[in-house]
Amino acid sequence: MKTIRPIRCLLWLCCAVVAGFYVLSWSGDLPHWRFLYIEISPNGMSRAQMLALTPGQRLLSAALGLPAVLTLLYGLWRLDRLLLNFRRLALFSAASACHLRAFAAAVPLATLLSIVELPVRALALRAAGAAVPAPTMGFSSEQLTLVLVCALFYLVTGLMDEGRRLAEENEGFV
């Protein structure tokens, strides 16, 4: 299982990028170089709109986005635990099935939270006195595909449990 180490490295890089983009999108302070200009903005909001918010409104907005980010990071952490079990050749163990099940539940939940975040943020900012556009909510085909793939992973956990049960049953006959 030599391929697990590079996958885990990519997984942790993904976690760092998700966390870094989240912090940078709400901080307003981005690095500038003479030859490169980077612009990172929160989902559903332009950088100019984000910079027009007061610090309190920005903190409120960032807090509303935190559950989706933390749920996604939790799911990715559980995927890392699954990969560690695979490296130990515990492919069909109860712990592996549990890690895959948690990953398969956390990613769609994070997707749902990120979809709901936009209208909730708009309503909260309007209540806080910010001049923001009317609340909107959208669902993309990529998000639908992600939810369907995670549903498939969830079904695979049932197969893992059944495989483990059959292996334990066969051990009893030998």
The reported pLDDT for the residue numbered 139 is 82
The pLDDT, as a whole number, for residue 13 is 95
pTM, full prediction = 0.86
Locate the domains of the chain by residue range.
4-173
Enumerate residue ranges in the chain where pLDDT < 70.
1, 31-32, 174
Give CB contacts under 8 A, 24+ apart, made by 101-104. Answer: 101/154, 101/157, 102/74, 102/75, 102/78, 103/75, 103/76, 103/78, 103/79, 103/150, 103/153, 104/150, 104/151, 104/153, 104/154, 104/157
d(CA 90, CA 103): 17
Q: What is the pLDDT of residue 111?
A: 94
